[in-house]
Amino acid sequence: GLSCDVMTLINGQPQSGKLHKHGWRYFRFVVTDNSTEVAFALLRVIGDPDLYVKYGALPTRHSYDKHSVRYGRDFVNYRFPKVGVYYAGIYAYSSCTFTI
């Protein structure tokens, strides 16, 4: 399955990558306690990556909790998030290099 291709995000440790047009890269972030907020920031280096986030499952372009498809910097946040796993999917609207 896709689980082997999902990298775990650690707070304060950005990850970078490259994607070909229409490709996906997935990350997971675990909320373990009563956090007040969890936020995902996607920085465009080259091209146009878009950000999709979903609680408990991998997001798609049609199935997500929150998304941001701006050109440049994409950002989504959850106030008082549930404990569990949030999945961030980066979709390459065009071939791109990114940092999340």
pLDDT tens digit sequence for 36-66: 999 999 999 999 999 999 999 999 999 999 9
Between 3 and 64, residue with greater pLDDT? 64
What average pLDDT score do residues 73-89 get?
A: 95
Joined tokens for residue 97: 């290099």
